[in-house]
Amino acid sequence: MIKKISLTLTAFCITIICFAQDNSGEFHGDFDLNMQSYQEDELIGAKAADEIILNNAYLNINYTKGNFAAGLRYESYLNALLDFDDDYKGNGIPFRYATYKIDGLEVTAGNYYEQIGSGLIFRSYENKGLGQDNAMDGVRLKYSPLKGVYLKTFIGKNRTYFTYADGIIRGADAEVNINEALNFESKTKIIVGQGFVSRFQADINPKFKLPQNVAAYSSRLNIINGGWNYSGEYAIKLNDPIGSLTAEGNNYANGNALMSSLTYSQRGFGIIAEMHRVDHMEFRSERAKEKQYIINYIPTLTKQHTYTLLALYPCATQPEGEFGTQVDVFYKIKKGSLLGGKYGTKITFNFSNIRGLEKGIKYDIDNNEVVEISNSFKNDYNDFTPKFFSKNGELFFRDINLEVYKKINKKIKATGILAKQSYNKDVLEGKTPGTYGTVESTIAIADISYKIKKGHTIRIELQELLADGGEGSWSMGLVEYTISPHWFFAVQDMYNWGNHDVEKQLHYVNINCGFLSGSNRFAIGYGKKRAGIFCVGGVCKEVPSSNGFSLTISSSF
Amino acid sequence: MKNIITLFSFIIVITSCDVVEGPYLIDDGGITPADTSSNTYVKKVLIEDFTGHTCPNCPAAARELEAIHDVYGDQIIGMALHVTTGFASPWTGAGKFEYDFRTKWGTDWDNFFGISNAGLPRGMVNRTGYPNDHKLGKNEWLAAVITELEKEFDFGISITTTISGGNGSITVNTELLNDVNGNYNLVVCLTESNIINWQKDGQSDIENYEHNHVLRTVLTDEELSTSSSYTLGDEIETPITINLSALEQYNIDYSANTAINGNGNAGGWDAANMSVVAYIYDNTTKEIVQVQDAHLMNE
């Protein structure tokens, strides 16, 4: 392994030296360091780390010269922060690539990130916050044989921590911009796309017949006409049992997913109506149902909130089955009108409703019992497909929220949000049904920023969440002082005053300050974090509670 | 237009995939379990299943282990280790889940190998893959078992027991089948099967769940020999004297005094359902190179 890495490094360095000789290429890079100390705090359940301090660091270096580019990323986990999987351990160069482009053909060898359509059948990406990185290692070709036609094919294995999964992933995608390809001038623009992915993994199961090549297809369509925009995608994944030795473990049903979105927008007004239906659609680089193997992505159908208490109970997409709808309306009340005032007022209304697919009954031969299921399931004893419209499915998540943003005068800006959320804690956090039930919460946010003088701004956030279930009610306050362009200071307190357990009616205080200078950013903080769920785009992870100091440094060149 | 057709056909060419038609179950998997009744040694594999009595997804892993045992017979030795406060600590006054299956050793191994950190159920197959690839989900066990069964083995283990009235001795005899260099440890533990007690299984709380091969105690975990060089034909005898009620009391005290949220309800052992599990592991790689089991009581 070390030998391999050093060989790669040597090759990379030689490449760089060769190209660097004529001094015309360019180097760019960025660096991130996140260090955190962990002290024990029994009340919030925070554990001390044996190492006292944990550290994650990344360095990206990219070299480009004309049509050629190469780069690598060094990653260091000594040891990984507690909210990371501890399989991220040690140092390494898990990402390196070289790519060039000539006459419409782009060749990439090494690591790459790739996505087909919106990701329903394939998405290889990284998100450091989520500890997610399923980069591919292999070869990718992109080719545009004629105007408006974009082709790509790739093959590789996907990264799981510091190793690669067993399965070999092959993919292809074609996208055609009809107007460009047919030289067809029209107000209506049409783009179609067709993607395909197949995974090979040998069948070693002595009891069950397993498909060795598991395929997934997706077709997509995008129509644009003036302010209207329709986009839709439909995906099918063929039989993909997990390779268990028990009948209940092996689900041979096809999976499918449909997403559809219609947008209308004009100056000062916009509306988006969206739906998606997902059924047994988790696609992995190995049969085994483990999160590090997931290679597809189902975009969430709920608003991604940034305010802490609005995002306290976030919606995690359920790839095994859900039916969701969302409406988002944006309206700007004109300047000078009664409600608009001098600067106008922006109003955003958002409603989302996510339900499970309607349930059916399955006979479980291994356990000799009848159980309820809500996704397509097929084995020697069952063949169940849920109804398409599942309006009576179990409620997973619902969010109704209204946001008003107003610039009051040259110095004051204010945002107010009211929201009502329902959060099915059992389903969304993978607990046994009936453990926690659904948390119903009402949330109010006020965010006011005031410009004291040139370069000095103070911002105050007041947040309130009222709930009976879950951890009960919360209040939060934040004061942030920014002296641009160099400094910021922030103090925040989250107070769980409504916790049913009196001992857990705690304050979570955090103090942060940061210094920015040119391309460098330094921030230090101290405080307590609650255990919770952290999500990005519907992909979620549980984070443990913690108590300690943090230091982050980011820099780029 | 011709171009577009060419391109689409290009896509179609690579759309190769397998669609499997039922029946999916192959009656005869073509596997004949090795004969473990004769005196010749065979390679055996230990599957350590980290579990908990209030872990709803854990019985599926126990069934997977059972299914692997069904296919490969007695070459597969299972061990259930109840770990974590969340999934294995006993409940108070609920009328269910009041037993404490946890042991000091289960907790120590869980901490050392970081198993429950990755979520339960999860296990190790002969502890292979340490330190980066040893925490296996239940559907990764089969592939690991197949790899393990194909490995050459250098050790043969046999176990003899003499027990009466809860006292007695266990003798583990290790025979070298090749010349070997390395540092090896011998672990001898007791497991118990047919324990009827509560278990969460999916959405149900099962009162009469049968808990099998639950780790009860570890009798020894020491160097197999002070030498690191072994010669073909060497025989190493490890005698162990046991007192079952003292071992049982140790677990009760552990549960009452040390384990988080423990209650001391960890007794009620039944020697008739207990087995001795003895294994040898490589001290450097942690990999278990051979394992053997035997009933504690000779019927």
What is the domain-level CATH number for residue B75? Answer: 3.40.30.10
**What's the Rg (C-alpha) of chain A?**
26
Nearest Cα residue in chain B from A144: B7
Q: Average of pLDDT values for B201-222? A: 94
Smallest Cα distance from B54 to chain A, Å:
10
Quote the CA–CA distance of A1 and A6 in Å, as a whole number: 9
Residue B111 has phi, psi (to 5 degrees) of: -65, -45
Quote the CA–CA distance of B199 and B48 in Å, as a whole number: 18
Nearest Cα residue in chain A from B206: A367
Residues of B in contact with A149 (CB under 8 A): 3-4, 7
From chain A residues 102-161, the ones with a CB under 8 A of any chain B CB are 145-146, 149, 151, 153, 161
Q: Given the structure tokens 């028990």, which residue do they identify?
A: A246
Task: Specify the pLDDT at position A430.
Answer: 84
Residues of A in contact with B23 (CB under 8 A): 380
* Confidence at A20, pLDDT banded by 50, 70, 90: very low
The answer to whether the Cβ–Cβ distance between B26 and A209 falls below 8 Å is: yes
**Choice among A306-315, A345-354, B1-10, B46-55 with the minimum mean pLDDT:** B1-10
The answer to whether the Cβ–Cβ distance between A288 and B8 falls below 8 Å is: no
Quote the CA–CA distance of B128 and B183 in Å, as a whole number: 16
The answer to whether the Cβ–Cβ distance between B24 and A252 falls below 8 Å is: yes
Residues of B in contact with A166 (CB under 8 A): 143
- Judge whether B20 is closer than 8 Å to chain A, CB to CB: yes
The answer to whether the Cβ–Cβ distance between B139 and A246 falls below 8 Å is: no
Domain-embedded: residue B149: yes
Task: Specify the pLDDT at position A70.
Answer: 97
Quote the CA–CA distance of B146 and A4 in Å, as a whole number: 28
Domain-embedded: residue B97: yes
Among B12, B16, B25, the residue to mutate for chain A (most A Cβ within 10 A): B25
Among B28, B135, B140, B198, the residue to mutate for chain A (most A Cβ within 10 A): B140
The Cβ of residue A467 has, within 10 Å, a number of other Cβ atoms equal to 20
Provide the domain count of chain B.
Answer: 1
Q: Give the tens place of pLDDT for each residue, B70-94.
A: 999 999 999 999 999 999 999 998 8
Question: What tokens appear for B109 in the block?
Answer: 């191994």
Residue A309 pLDDT > 90, yes or no?
yes
- Judge whether A207 is closer than 8 Å to chain B, CB to CB: yes
Task: Specify the pLDDT at position B198.
Answer: 97
Nearest Cα residue in chain B from A210: B20
The answer to whether the Cβ–Cβ distance between B142 and A245 falls below 8 Å is: yes
Q: Average of pLDDT values for B84-108? A: 95
Q: Give the tens place of pLDDT for each residue, A477-494.
A: 999 999 988 999 999 999
Domain-embedded: residue B170: no
- Judge whether B133 is closer than 8 Å to chain A, CB to CB: yes
Task: Specify the pLDDT at position B8.
Answer: 56
Task: Specify the pLDDT at position A14.
Answer: 47
- The size of the A-B interface in CB pairs under 8 A is 141
- Judge whether B71 is closer than 8 Å to chain A, CB to CB: yes
Residue B211's domain comprises 39-153+185-221+243-295
- CA B203, distance to chain mean position in Å, is 25
From chain B residues 227-246, the ones with a CB under 8 A of any chain A CB are none
Domain-embedded: residue B161: no
- Judge whether A82 is closer than 8 Å to chain B, CB to CB: no
Nearest to A162 among B15, B114, B132 (CB): B132
From chain B residues 185-224, the ones with a CB under 8 A of any chain A CB are 200-203
- Judge whether A243 is closer than 8 Å to chain B, CB to CB: yes
Smallest Cα distance from A15 to chain B, Å:
31
- CA A444, distance to chain mean position in Å, is 25
- Judge whether B25 is closer than 8 Å to chain A, CB to CB: yes
The Cβ of residue B268 has, within 10 Å, a number of other Cβ atoms equal to 11
Smallest Cα distance from A516 to chain B, Å:
36
Q: Give the tens place of pLDDT for each residue, A348-404.
A: 999 999 999 988 888 888 888 888 889 999 999 999 999 998 778 999 999 999 999
**Greater confidence, A329 or B4?**
A329
Among B5, B13, B20, the residue to mutate for chain A (most A Cβ within 10 A): B20
Domain-embedded: residue B32: no
Quote the CA–CA distance of A229 and A243 in Å, as a whole number: 42
Quote the CA–CA distance of B17 and A215 in Å, as a whole number: 6
Nearest to A174 among B11, B131, B146 (CB): B11
Domain-embedded: residue B267: yes
Residue B6 pLDDT > 70, yes or no?
no
Question: What tokens appear for A535 in the block?
Answer: 């999500």
Residue A173 pLDDT > 90, yes or no?
yes
3-state helix, strand, coil in chain A (%, to 5): 5, 55, 35
Q: Give the tens place of pLDDT for each residue, B186-204.
A: 999 999 999 999 999 988 8
Q: Which residues pair with A234 in a beta bridge?
A: A219, A258
Nearest to B133 among A85, A163, A239 (CB): A163
Smallest Cα distance from A202 to chain B, Å:
10
From chain B residues 36-65, the ones with a CB under 8 A of any chain A CB are 56, 60, 63-64
Quote the CA–CA distance of A264 and B153 in Å, as a whole number: 69
DSSP state of A147: T
Domain-embedded: residue B238: no
Q: Give the tens place of pLDDT for each residue, A174-188.
A: 999 999 999 888 999
Among B21, B139, B203, the residue to mutate for chain A (most A Cβ within 10 A): B139
Residues of B in contact with A161 (CB under 8 A): 132
From chain B residues 91-130, the ones with a CB under 8 A of any chain A CB are 114, 117-118
- CA A262, distance to chain mean position in Å, is 22
Please list, in sequence order, all residues whose beta carbon lies within 8 angstroms of the beta carbon of residue B198, skipping any fewer than 6 positions away.
B53, B96, B97, B98, B99, B205, B206, B207, B209
The answer to whether the Cβ–Cβ distance between B139 and A243 falls below 8 Å is: yes
Question: With pLDDT > 90 as the criterion, what percentage of chain A qualifies?
Answer: 80
Per the prediction, chain A carries an average pLDDT of: 92
Domain-embedded: residue B175: no
Task: Specify the pLDDT at position A338.
Answer: 82
Nearest Cα residue in chain A from B72: A206
**To 5 degrees, how large is the angle CA A267–CA A268–CA A274?**
95
* Confidence at B7, pLDDT banded by 50, 70, 90: low
The Cβ of residue A533 has, within 10 Å, a number of other Cβ atoms equal to 18
DSSP state of B64: H
Task: Specify the pLDDT at position A540.
Answer: 83
Nearest to B24 among A162, A208, A214 (CB): A208
Among A42, A176, A383, A432, the residue to mutate for chain B (most B Cβ within 10 A): A432
Residue B4 pLDDT > 80, yes or no?
no
The answer to whether the Cβ–Cβ distance between B63 and A246 falls below 8 Å is: yes
